[in-house]
Structures are given as structure tokens and as C-alpha cells.
DNA sequence: CATAACATGTAATGAGTTACATGATTAA
DNA sequence: TTAATCATGTAACTCATTACATGTTATG
């Protein structure tokens, strides 16, 4: 399980409350590791129990806000975890199943779903490109920026790949309905 | 949940026993929808209860072999499901988290893990290309072949994308250790 | 003081993983 | 007849999702 390590990574970048982290997961980190706020709160509680992170209650802040920060033990744990190998996570996408079902069942009216999906990937791609233009000048000023830029670049290529695939699929379906 | 529909799709392509399906999931379908044999048996039992598939016990066959086939109700269900939209499944890959952790923590010895992973993607890519060369002549002889070939093509591009990313990451890490 | 937004959680359920259990058939 | 392989399953556990519950603070 790596939600814990995704959280440690996020806290290594910047301290924050559970909701802060949930929001950051929605934006940057969540593009490759998603988590609901319920998961995040549960995992933060666990990490604090284990002594890897620590929460300071903020007296001035809203709600019962608890701002977590990474402890040295947490950084050690993260440092240990990073170079470990995990098995390759296979893609798992229902659209592939749908395409394959369409292939054997014959026309099933899949095209509109492909169009919606295409629009979604185009939106995400535009977001990524905006982030890239705003936050990642090239050449990158630092090793850190270069690596973070690379991760973003991977996201961009992923979206581009999907867009190409969907366009090809639509061409096929619409030429021969 | 789409395991059930992945199974219906597999049975639409060809009838088979639980173990047959588990093996086909390991090869073709499993490249984009994985399932263990335990999941598959459980789900097949459920689908039979619902009346979407039917098992014939094979008297001549090994063990208590039960060969499942798609029933008309199952085909209807599948036909209904195909054109439905699902939200885009975001990527979820620990390597992205590792890269990002490496970015903020500084050198952590990630390179060997990247090399191993690169080798894995190269192997998978070679498999896909072999399947493509063997089973997918071009131009494709039928609409069905064209669509199935497209799904395979998506897998190929996905592997190629990872290979490029990993090579770039290694270049970065090794130039500036 | 009402309400919107902030902030943290619980409970129930479902999906997925790991480890183990059981029996049938074939080939040595 | 014993070992390997084929074949189907159970049990226990972890992880993820969905829906709901609760309390706080700033703003009009």
C-alpha cells in the first residue's frame, strides 16, 4: 500500500491539514494517486500513531484544524521506501473492455461515450499544459524542478495517448457504423 | 464494478471454464483488466445466479470442470452496458510518487528500481508486438479485428510511453547523482 | 443569529489480495 | 500408486467507496 507514502511525500513537500492534503490530492498528486478525504484522515491518524508525522493543533485556525508535519522518523521511512521496487501496476480501464465487447457484439452505440471521454482527456491535457507553462520554465532551474516536470510530462503524454486512441476508435466506428 | 462485464465480454468471445478465463485474463484481457482466480470464481457464481450465464458440467473433462456460456440475457446486459459512460480512471502508480519523493528528498538511490522497471516494460512491449505481428495483419480483415487491434495498439503505446519516461528519468538521475 | 464554508470524522458495504483447502485426472 | 497438474473453492484480511454525522468559524 502506498497511500501512506504518498501522504508522507506530500508532507515532505509541505506541511498541511487533512483537508489541505485532500485538496492537494485533487490537484497535483491526485493525478497519479487519488484518495478520498476519508482515506486521508484515517491514514493520517495511523501515521501519527506510528510516530512518522505529528499534528499541531492551530489555535487561531478554523474548525479543529490539525496541521501535520513530517517527523524525522517519517523522512527516514520515506527515504527507505523510495528505492524499493514494486510490480508494475497494470492499467485497468473499463473503456478497453467496452471496445472489446463492441468488437465482438457488433455496433452498440459506443460513439457518444467515446466523444464524452475524448472531451474529458482534452480538458485534463489543457490543465496540465497550463501548469507546465506556469510552473515549469525550461530549462529547469533545479534537479527538483526537473524531476517534478518529468512527472507532469508523463501525465501530458498519457493524456495525448488517450486522445489519439479515442480519435482512432471514433474514426473506425463512424466510417463503418 | 466491471469485473462482471469483463467476464461477460470474455464469454461473448468464447465459452470457457473458470480456469480458462483466469488464463485468458492473464494473457489478453488481463492486460487492461486483471482478476485473480478467486475473484473470477466468485463472480461467475454470481453471474450464474443472476441468470446471465450458464454452466454445463463436462462429463469427459478434468476435475469438476464447469464450462460457462453466455445466455441471451447476459448478451442483453452487456449490450446495455457498453455505451454507458464511466468517469475516467486516473492512473495510480507508485513510481510517480517515488519520483516525486526523490525530487524533494534529494538522491535516494532510485536508479536501480527504474532500470528494473524499464526492463519490465520492454518485455511487455515485446510480447505485445509479437501478438500484433502474429494475430493482427494489416490492413485488418474485419471491423472486429480492427477494433481488437486498436486496443492492442493502445497497450503498445502505453508501454512505449513508460519506456520514454523511464529513460528520461534515468538520464536526469545519472547525469546529476 | 442564520448560513455558508471549513474541518474532521464514523459506519456500512463492496472489491481485491493472500493464504490455504479440497478433490479429480493423467502420466510416470 | 504417487506425483504433477487441472480445477474449484473458503477464510481472513486489507483497501476503497459511499453515505452520513458532527462541530467550528467567518460573514452578512
- Whether the CB-CB separation of A67 and A55 falls below 8 Å is answered with yes
Q: Please report the residues numbered 75 through 94 in chain A whose beta carbons come closer than 8 angstroms to any beta carbon of chain B.
A: 75, 78-79, 81-86, 88-94
- Whether the CB-CB separation of A63 and A18 falls below 8 Å is answered with no
Report the pLDDT value the prediction gives residue A100, as an integer from 0 to 100: 94
- Whether the CB-CB separation of A37 and A17 falls below 8 Å is answered with no
* Closest residue by Cα to residue B101 from A72, A19, A86, A144: A144
Work out the pLDDT band at A90, boundaries 50, 70, 90: confident
Q: Which residues pair with A70 in a beta bridge?
A: A53
Residue A55 scores a pLDDT above 60? yes
Q: Output the distance from B82 CA to D15 C1' rounded to whole Å.
A: 28
- Whether the CB-CB separation of A157 and A140 falls below 8 Å is answered with no
Percent of chain A with pLDDT over 90: 79
**Sign of dihedral through CA atoms A61, A63, A66, A67?**
negative
What residues in B contact A91, CB-CB < 8 Å? 31-32, 91, 155, 158
Report the pLDDT value the prediction gives residue B111, as an integer from 0 to 100: 96
Work out the pLDDT band at B60, boundaries 50, 70, 90: low
**Which one has a higher pLDDT value, A176 or B123?**
B123
Report the pLDDT value the prediction gives residue B64, as an integer from 0 to 100: 78
Cα–Cα distance measured from residue A18 to residue A67, given in angstroms and rounded to the nearest whole number = 7
**Sign of dihedral through CA atoms B38, B29, A89, A25?**
negative
Report the pLDDT value the prediction gives residue B28, as an integer from 0 to 100: 82
Which residues in B68-77 are b (16+ Cβ under 10 Å) and which e?
Answer: bebbeebbeb
The chain A residue lying nearest B168, using CA atoms, is A150
A4 touches strand C (CB under 7 A): no
Q: What is the mean pLDDT of residues A119-134?
A: 94
Cα–Cα distance measured from residue B124 to residue B129, given in angstroms and rounded to the nearest whole number = 9
Q: Which residues pair with B70 in a beta bridge?
A: B53
Q: What angle do CA A13, A19, A24 make, to 5 degrees?
A: 40
Q: What does the mean pLDDT of chain B come to?
A: 91
Cα–Cα distance measured from residue B11 to residue B78, given in angstroms and rounded to the nearest whole number = 11
Nearest CB to B96 within list A79, A84, A151: A151
Considering all nucleic acid strands, name the nucleotide whose C1' atom is nearest to the C-alpha of residue B35: C16
Q: What is the mean pLDDT of residues A113-120?
A: 95
Question: Could you tell me if B41 lies within 8 Å of chain A, comparing CB atoms?
Answer: no
Other CB atoms within 10 Å distance of the CB of residue B19: 15
Least confident segment among A78-82, A148-152, A154-158, B60-64 = B60-64
Amino acid at each position: 500500500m502506498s497511500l501512506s507514502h504518498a501522504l508522507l511525500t506530500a508532507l515532505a513537500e509541505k506541511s498541511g491539514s487533512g483537508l489541505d492534503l485532500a485538496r492537494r490530492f485533487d490537484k497535483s498528486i491526485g493525478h497519479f494517486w487519488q484518495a478520498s478525504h476519508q482515506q486521508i484522515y484515517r491514514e493520517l491518524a495511523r501515521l501519527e500513531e506510528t510516530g512518522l508525522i505529528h499534528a499541531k493543533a492551530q489555535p487561531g485556525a478554523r474548525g479543529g484544524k490539525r496541521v501535520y508535519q513530517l517527523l524525522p522518523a517519517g523522512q527516514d521511512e520515506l527515504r527507505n521506501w523510495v528505492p524499493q521496487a514494486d510490480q508494475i501496476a497494470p492499467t485497468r480501464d473499463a473503456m478497453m473492455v467496452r471496445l472489446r465487447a463492441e468488437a465482438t457484439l457488433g455496433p452498440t452505440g459506443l460513439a457518444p461515450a467515446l466523444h464524452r471521454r475524448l472531451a474529458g482527456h482534452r480538458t485534463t491535457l489543457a490543465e496540465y499544459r497550463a501548469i507546465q507553462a506556469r510552473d515549469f520554465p525550461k530549462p529547469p532551474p533545479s534537479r527538483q524542478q526537473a524531476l517534478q516536470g518529468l512527472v507532469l510530462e508523463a501525465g501530458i503524454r498519457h493524456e495525448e495517448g488517450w486522445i489519439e486512441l479515442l480519435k482512432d476508435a471514433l474514426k473506425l466506428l463512424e466510417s463503418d457504423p
